[in-house]
Structure 1
Amino acid sequence: MTFGRALVFATVLAMAGCAAAVPADAVPVLRPEVVAEIPHDPSAFTQGFEIADGTLYEGTGLVGSSQLRELDPATGAVRRAVPLPDGVFGEGITVVGDRIWQLTWRDGVAFEWDRASLTLLRTVPLSGEGWGLCADGDRLVRSDGTALLRFHDPVTFAETGSVTVTGGGVPVTQLNELECVDGQVYANVWQTDRIVRIDPSDGRVTAEVDATGLLDPARRADADVLNGIADAGNGELLLTGKLWPSTFRVRLVPTP
């Protein structure tokens, strides 16, 4: 999301008493235990993050800078990068077989890319805003900044349904970058250091991750918000953020 929008939403959340927060006593709280730290391009305004077949894919945002990238998950090095069409603001991505779907924020379209060549194959209409995207079995899951998760057909991108995300019975808004892992959906809560784990069958938040301090304050001063979740396998995740200089491979463990 843009810096201007960040300021607006931060003000709204402050005025609302941070209504997007999950009630503290509603779900287990986990923390990321760092296994390894990997370099990350600090110029990347990360919007989507996903590993497939040993390759890390990243979608970046901002008009004029939006890209689809292929990275080395062990080193963070950019292997290939292609720009999005002029004037669009790139958002979340997900891999579906030999294709990659990529959202745009308010441009009203989604892009389908050939995964092998990073060639744009198709542009399809997108209703509403695009924030995060992941693949959950035979459907795609999209966030749009509200408390809704929207479901899409992975071939046509047609919207097929939705569910409202709630924690302790309270809608959880500002759902941003998504990662589908073992039938659950992990979502960054935008403008916070929280990640929520969601059961997409009914929208219930089943756990909350407190990632406060993952990037130390000195480096955080030149970076933006936590935003980037990739399933690294073996119970581990890769976590990063917009303009972060590092990606962290972590395990989620109970908070003491």
Structure 2
Amino acid sequence: MTTSPIRVAVLAAFAWLVGCGSVATASDIPVYGYTVVRTYPHDPKAFTEGLFYDGGFLYESTGEYMGSGVRKVRLDTGEVAQHLDTPPGYFGEGIIVSGDHLLQLTWRDGVGFIYDRKTFAPVGKFSYPGEGWAMTRDAKHLYMSDGTPTIRVLDPVTLAQTGRIDVTADGVPLRMINELEWVKGEILANVWQTERIARIDPKTGRVTGWIDLSGLVDTSRMDDPADDVLNGIAYDAAHDRLFVTGKRWPALFEIRLKPKRSR
């Protein structure tokens, strides 16, 4: 996801206020801090839109009209082991695996691409209304964000929408939901242009916790502070490892959560 510089300040402030609840109202949502367990290299040119971990590799979708693609990345070295450019003219967004395929969303075109999971060969397309931002999955469903407070629930075979999760924090709809990751029965979601990740109960849509990643990277020192923000969550379920990164960040971090405070 990207935007024009004119809207950056307003959108950032709006996303933060909605993500955190009213500044004048106390919140019962707990806030978690983090400990960095290990730091890994990450391509500083990768405009990260989607990320997941599978079979010892990271799978990443990158955005921008002139740089979108899907890639398979070696975790320890950051080396790109496999890569395919998104068709020209499309802004790549979230990515997820479904059976023998990789699925990649695009931003405003209402078109997603289907690739062979092993070879990355294009095998088809699918369509959806509105924008596409990110995807994740559990054992039975796919979940898709579009920047609104609604997470769409999709059938993993037909890709048809079968349900929805309306996300709220302190009763307020949570907008700017971006990159998603399914972790231990809950959905983790980046809130675009903030340093927070929402922990979402998929049954109720309620935000049950905030992960505050402030201080992880000084984005003010990035080439484009407005867009080079936190975005990218991956989980290694077999070894209980949580990874996070951002757009054009030079590093990917394995983190461990720790209680911080209540707002």
Which residue of 48, 51, 54 corresponds with 1:49? Answer: 51
Determine whether 1:253 maps to 2:258. Answer: yes
Supply the AA of the counterpart residue of 2:165: V
**How many Å separate the matches in 1 of 2:224 and 2:37?**
24
Contact 1:153 1:160 (C-alpha < 8 Å) held by counterparts: yes
Task: State the alpha-carbon separation in 1 of the partners of residues 27 and 223 from structure 2.
Answer: 31
Gaps of at least 5 residues in structure 2 are none
CA contact (8 A) 1:13 1:20 kept: no
Q: Look up the match of 1:229.
A: 233
Cα distance, 1:232 vs structure 2? 2.6
Q: How far is the alpha carbon of 1:221 from its aligned partner?
A: 5.3
Secondary structure, aligned partner of 2:9:
helix
Cα RMSD between the aligned structures?
Answer: 1.8
> Which residue of the partner structure matches residue 70 of structure 1?
72
Q: Which residue of 1 aligns with 2:153?
A: 151
Counterpart CA distance in 2 for 1:243 and 1:114 is: 26
Report 1:165-184 matches (<5 A).
Answer: 165-184=167-186
Partners of 2:115 and 2:173 in 1: CA distance: 33
1:58-92 deviation digits (Å, cap 9, x = unpaired):
00000021000000112221111100111000000
With the length of structure 2 as denominator, give the TM-score of the two structures: 0.91
CA contact (8 A) 2:15 2:191 kept: no
Q: Is the 8 A contact 1:94 1:101 kept in 2?
A: yes
Partner of 1:83: 85
SS in 1 for 2:37: strand
In structure 1, distance between residues paired with 2:221 and 2:15 = 28
Once residues 39 and 171 of structure 1 are traced to their aligned partners in structure 2, the CA distance between those partners, rounded to angstroms, is 35
1: CA distance, partners of 2:12 / 2:254 = 30
Query: How far apart, in 2, do the equivalents of 1:207 and 1:187 lie?
Result: 11
Match of 2:248 in 1: 243
Q: 1:221 to 1:33 in 2, by over 3 A?
A: farther
Closer, same or farther in 2 for the Cα pair 1:103/1:200, shift >3 Å? same
Query: What is the CA distance between 1:137 and its match in structure 2?
Result: 1.9
Rounded to whole Å, the distance in 1 between the matches of 2:15 and 2:97 is 37
Change (3 A) 1:216 1:12: closer
Structure 1 moving runs of 4+ over 6 Å: none
User: Do the aligned residues in 2 keep the contact of 1:26 with 1:167 (CA within 8 Å)?
Assistant: no
- What displacement does 1:136 show? 1.9
Amino acid in structure 2 at the alignment position of 1:110? G
Shift in alpha-carbon separation, 1:56–1:12, aligned structure 2, 3 A: closer
Identical aligned residues as a percent: 46
